[in-house]
Amino acid sequence: NVRGRDVVRFVADAQRAVEQQVSMPAGYEIRWGGDFENLQSASQRLLLITPIVLLLIFLLLHTSFGSPRLALLIFLAVPMAASGGVFALMLRGMPFSISAGVGFIALFGVAVLNGLVWVSAAEHLRLRGVPLDEATRETAIARLRPVLMTAMVASLGFLPMAMSTSDGAEMQKPLASVVIGGLITSTLLTSLVVPAIYPWFAPKEVSPDA
């Protein structure tokens, strides 16, 4: 059993060592199975499922608001959150793994939800006759505290997992690191970027379904 290291890097080091030190007879080969094989197959499934899930999210947002521009605005939270998660993995020297993939999926949900709530609040103000600029300003102020509190509580909740050194920490750390790093960047997006660019994406007429 591998302790204190992730399976991917351990197998990569083992493969290099075998290539350098072991001469395989003709007709023989080495196959790496167990957890590594399961990880490889799960990663392939994840690469197939993730784009489908993201497409479904965009379609649901488009259906909810009836505006592709607003759906795109909310969807910007996904790459913004992903950049923070990727940076967190790079900062800690961790490769992509299934647990990190699960962290990205959870992170995308939180990021999209924050953007969805923000845009819904702004659209409801506009539906009541509030001018666009004033609705943007009021929503930015009103949603700042809830967004910051959500990010802070979630980050503090995942912090023990990110700093864990006990058995199984190699599975917990990537997930927690992705969520914490992504929450930081997605919070900046919801608090600063969305209010700044919302007037460009907002439709001239507000749909009652928004």
- Residues 13-68 pLDDT 10s: 787 888 788 887 888 877 777 777 777 777 788 788 888 888 888 898 888 888 88
Classify residue 154: in a domain, yes or no.
Answer: yes
Structural domain boundaries enclosing 100: 40-201
Please, what's the b/e burial string for 172-206 (b: 16 or more CB within 10 A of its CB; e: otherwise)?
bbbbbbbbbbbbbbbbebbbebbbeebeebbeeeb
pLDDT tens profile 106-132: 888 888 888 888 999 999 999 888 899
Is the model more confident about 183 or about 97? Answer: 183
Classify residue 176: in a domain, yes or no.
Answer: yes
pLDDT at 5 over 70: no
Nearest to residue 5, comparing CAs of 164, 168, 160? 168
pTM of the full predicted structure?
A: 0.75
Q: How far apart are CA 186 and CA 150, in angstroms?
A: 11
Classify residue 24: in a domain, yes or no.
Answer: no
CA 185 from chain centre, in angstroms, equals 10
Residue 97: its pLDDT value, please?
79
Overall domain count for the chain: 1
Classify residue 210: in a domain, yes or no.
Answer: no
pLDDT band at 208 (very low <50, low <70, confident <90, very high): low
pLDDT at 207 over 70: no
103: domain CATH number is: 1.20.1640.10
